Every structure is written in structure tokens, then in C-alpha cells.
Chain A
């Protein structure tokens, strides 16, 4: 397929400036993915703030030298450093390079959000039906599925090039016909809490379906937004899931008929309680009673409603082991307004912002296992951090932090 540019895009490309350089890059990418045109986008979310080597910095500096600025509102994903609490990250060179990379993105006009959950920031939440160019697998999945915005799975470099150009290739999940479900996952009634069901389903659809779009039927209507976040993050970790439809919960899925092209799934599978528990058990490498080195929540970043669910549980004995929660820097303000920061602190909880414990070196002691309520963290931690992992509900995580070993409720 050949790429056709509009007269406006052609004029832009011929101007020979920073924006045209970015547009040329987007056009080459569009050709590589077989897109026939480029479309204007309303926002971008950049996943290039993690330092992977000199090339990470060179690419941004290349555009700074050309005098580039982003053409549309652009949020930044987590970086390698907590800029608000710099002492938290160990490793000098990562601190210097990681910080430089985060600051270089700000010079391009990106917003200092440093969060993997930009959809939690009211002014950065993409509108239903809007085209955006987002990076970071969970953010992509949430924007498409829960917000009903349209983005492909953009990766390093191309997300920033789209932000500077203001255009994205028109292909994949940008197109209505590619957003229909291919298979149906029926969730049978179970006694599991919503958050656990969500992670189990997410783990399953990514592991089994890879990039195939699933329609999920049977999630309770009381399932909360952060539980859908957990579902999408798990699915986008075990598979290349960019979009899922939860019938009755997500905006493109009011009914089962609405999500299938010819109103019929190619295949259907039912997950009963045993199957859901089997998915969850794959997320733990240790058993009940295993000694813990730390508890970590907030992968992707913990939202205010998640803190609200946590607060009533912070009673009794304080945490015996390091307990971290990753969140965005804006949340710090809300927490202090509510007086929750003191309660968290008294319980022994350390708030980490701008980054995430699973991508950088914050946890000191990993001789014991790490416990989390995040399917994504549980999936990546053994390889990224080299530690044993225990997955559990929010209540189990809190109780385990108090005991210093894995507690099952």
C-alpha cells in the first residue's frame, strides 16, 4: 500500500524544519506498517523517558537541536528517577542519565506528568472517539478500552515523532473495522473479589489471545475503573493486547452484538472460579508463609480511588517490611489535602512518584519475595528485579506487610 499525504502534510514536509523531520519519520513508519494515510491526533503519551542507553538521549537531543516542540498536548511516562524524591533511586549513572532524559523531554514542551497512568489526570484523559498516539502498553490498552479513544500500540521514538509532527499513521486500532472483538470470554459467577477477577481475566486474555481483541462478558457491573486498569495492564503484559471490550462496562461494548462484526464470536471460552484461580496462581512464585522483603503497590500508578480503598485497611500494626506505593506526582497533593499522607507514612508506606519500582532500583533488599496486587508487576518482577514474587489482593498485601510474610485470606 502506498502512503498518500494531504496537501497540508506535503507542504509541512517541504518546509524542512524540526516538524518536517518528525513528519518524515512518521511517514516512513506509516509505510512500514502499511498505512495509506496520516491523521491528525489530539494528544500523545511518550514512553521514551526510560533510559535504555545513549540512543535514548541522542534521539531527543537531535530534535532539540532542530528546535522542535511538540505540536499537541503530550504527557510523559515514568522515567528512571523519582525527581521529587531523588534519594530513592540507587545507581549514579542511571540517576544522571535518567534525569537528563526526563529533562530533555520537558525542553520539547512535554508535560512533566511522569506517569504510566496519564488517563488518571483529568486534563489528559483522551475523549471518546478521539485519535491519539500513545505509548506504554497499559496506557494504550486503557485509552482504547476504557476511554474509547483510538491509538495503535506506539513504541519508543515513534510516539515522540507523532507528538512533534501532530500526525499518526492511520492503521490498526485507529480504524473502526479493526476494533471489533474476535473472541468471547465468559466469566462465570465466582466468590472472588472484582480486583482478582479482573487480573485473572487480563492474564488469561493476553496469555491465550495475544493481540486478538477479546469481548469479556460476566464481569460484575460494580467493577471499578482501577480494576479495569489492572485487567488491561495484565493483558498487555502477557500478550500484545491493545484493546478489550467488557460488555456493559466499556464504552464501545454496550451489548454483545455491538462488539462483533457479524454479531458472532469466532470462539467462546468460559472461565469458572477454578480457571480464574489457576490464572492467579501463575502470578506467584512463592507459597503462603514465604518471607517477604517488600510489598509494592501501584503498577500502573495507584489512583486516588485506590488510595480510598486502601485507607480503611491501614489499621493496627504498622508494616514490618518496606512498603512502597507508586503514584503520580499530582496525587501527592490530593493525599496531603486529605491528610492521608500522614496515615500512609505512619503505617510505614513510602510513596514513589515519577517512576516505578519495577523499572528502576529502589528496593534495597530482595532476598525475600516481593508482594503486589498488580498482575503486571507480578509478571515482570522476576525478570526485571530478579526476585521471587507473590501476587495477592489488596487486603492480603496489607496483612502480609504487617506480618512480614505472605498471608492468604
Chain B
């Protein structure tokens, strides 16, 4: 099952987050790197990656932070979610409306999430997701 929160096209390498993250306070708006010290992937860069989040958490200011990261050109190419997250969808919608930066956001079911998490490369085109 795939459902599209923010439409668009993207290609990239998946970055599967091992723990939930709050974008506000957890990711640098300037560099798009994970700055939450307790996060297992502390220091990892989201830039150009197909960011895969099993679950989201945290402050609603996360919308602003994601939009700011995308404005700075340091954002993920796309976001694949295991559960709906209106906070991140809003950030991506705003970046697209204000700056024309495309960052599609899709929700997939658990089975597909597991398959995509092991892929080398993912291509998203609307509700069509391919791996290679």
C-alpha cells in the first residue's frame, strides 16, 4: 500500500532512521545533519537521501525546520513514512509552494517499508516506487 502525502519525483539512496527524530532540535536547519546527540545516527546527513522514518515524533515546529532545510538545499530527496505525519508533510508542502523545491512524501505499509529499507537505490514517481 502506498499513499501520497506530497506528490513528486525523486531518486536516491535510502537512509533508514534507527530511532524516531524530532526535526526541531534534532536536525540542523542549515546543514540537514542529525544533531540530536542521543540519536544512534548522530552526525548523519539527510541531504539527497530518501529518508525513511518508521515513526515520527516531536514538536510541530518540525514543519518549519524541514522547510528551512529544503530551502537551504540540504534536505532529503524524498521522505518515506511508516505512519502518517502531517508535520513533515506540511514542511514539504511549504518548501514546494515557496521555493519550488520538490520533496515527495509517501506512506507505505510495513511490508513495503522493510523491502525498501534494504534497497540500494529508490526511485519515486507519484505513487509509483521502484528499487534497484
A residues contacting the other copy or chain, number (CB 8 A): 29
Cβ of B54 under 8 Å from chain A: no
Cβ of B127 under 8 Å from chain A: no
Q: Is the CB of B64 within 8 A of A53?
A: yes
Interface residue ranges of B8-66 to A (CB < 8 Å): 24-25, 29, 57, 59-65
Given contacts A52-B61, A156-B60, A156-B64, A29 and B98 within 8 Å (CB-CB) = no
- Chain A residues contacting B99 (CB-CB under 8 Å) are 58
Measured CB to CB, the closest approach of chain B to A155, in angstroms, equals 3
Q: Is the CB of A50 within 8 A of B61?
A: yes
Q: Is the CB of A52 within 8 A of B29?
A: yes
- Chain B residues contacting A33 (CB-CB under 8 Å) are 84, 86
In the complex, which range does the number of interface residues on chain B fall in?
20 to 34
A21 to B, closest residue via Cβ = B97
Given contacts A29-B90, A33-B84, A383-B25, A55 and B67 within 8 Å (CB-CB) = yes
A28 to B, closest residue via Cβ = B93
B89 to A, closest residue via Cβ = A32
10 A-B pairs closest in CB distance: A155-B60, A53-B68, A52-B64, A156-B63, A55-B67, A32-B5, A32-B89, A156-B64, A55-B68, A53-B29
What 0/1 readout, one digit per residue, does chain B (62-87) give for beta carbons within 8 Å of chain A? 11110110011000000000001011
Cβ of A153 under 8 Å from chain B: yes
Cβ of A404 under 8 Å from chain B: no
B29 to A, closest residue via Cβ = A53
B57 to A, closest residue via Cβ = A240
B30 to A, closest residue via Cβ = A53
Q: Is the CB of A29 within 8 A of B60?
A: no
Q: Is the CB of A29 within 8 A of B63?
A: no
A237 to B, closest residue via Cβ = B59
Cβ of A137 under 8 Å from chain B: yes
- C-alpha gap A52/B70 in the complex (Å): 13
What 0/1 readout, one digit per residue, does chain A (21-48) give for beta carbons within 8 Å of chain B? 0000100110111100000000000011
Cβ of B94 under 8 Å from chain A: yes
Q: Is the CB of A155 within 8 A of B97?
A: no
Cβ of B95 under 8 Å from chain A: yes
